[in-house]
Amino acid sequence: MASSSMTGVCADELQCIVCLELYEEPITLPCGHSFCKVCIEQHWESREEATVCDCPNCREVFPIKPKCQKNVALAKLVEQMKLVPGVNEEKMKLTPGVNVEERRCTEHGKPILLYCKDDESLMCVMCLVGQHTNHKVVPVEIVHDEFKGVLNAKCPELSKSKQHLESELHQLKREVEQTQHSGKGTVDRMEEKRLALYQYVNKSVDLMKSGVIKRQNEKLFLLQKQMDKVKEQLNSLHETNSTLKAALQDLETISFLQGYKDVIKSFFFFMPRLESVSHFKSLKMAQTTVLDFSKEEKNLGSLIQLHENFLKNIRKPVELQMSDLDQSSLISLYGRTPSLDPNSAHRRIKISQDLRTATRTETDNHHPEHPDRFDRWSQVLSSDCFSSGRHYWEVDVRSSSLCLIGICLNSMRRKGGGNECWMGRNPESWCLQKCENKYYTWHNNQRTLLSVPGNPERFGFLLDCEEGEFTCFGDSRVLHVFRGNFLVPVKPAIGVYDVGDSVRFCSF
pLDDT digits (tens, 9 = 90+) for 189-227: 878 888 887 887 888 788 878 888 888 888 888 888 888
| Sequence letter at residue 393 | W
Q: With 50 as the cut, is the pLDDT of residue 30 above it? A: yes
Res. 360 pLDDT band, cuts 50 70 90 = very high
Nearest to 489 by CA among 348, 352, 341: 341
Rounding to the nearest 10 degrees, give the CA dihedral for residues 51, 55, 60, 65.
-30
pLDDT exceeds 70 at position 263? no
Q: Taking the model in full, what pTM does it have?
A: 0.46
Which residues, at least 6 apart from 250, have a Cβ–Cβ distance to it below 8 Å? Answer: none
Domain limits of the chain?
12-135, 146-294, 323-505
Provide the sign of the torsion angle of the four alpha carbons 22, 26, 29, 30, taken in this order. Answer: positive
* Model confidence pLDDT, tens digit, residues 369-384: 999 999 999 999 999 9
The pLDDT confidence band at residue 257, using thresholds 50, 70 and 90, is: low
The Cα-based distances of 249 to 24, 211, 405, 487 in angstroms read 175, 57, 108, 90
For residue 20, the model assigns a pLDDT of 79
462 touches 322 (CB < 8 A) = yes
The class of domain 323-505 in CATH terms is mainly beta
d(CA 412, CA 405): 15
Kindly report the CATH class assigned to 12-135.
Answer: alpha beta
Q: How many CA atoms lie within 13 A of 317 on its CB side?
A: 5
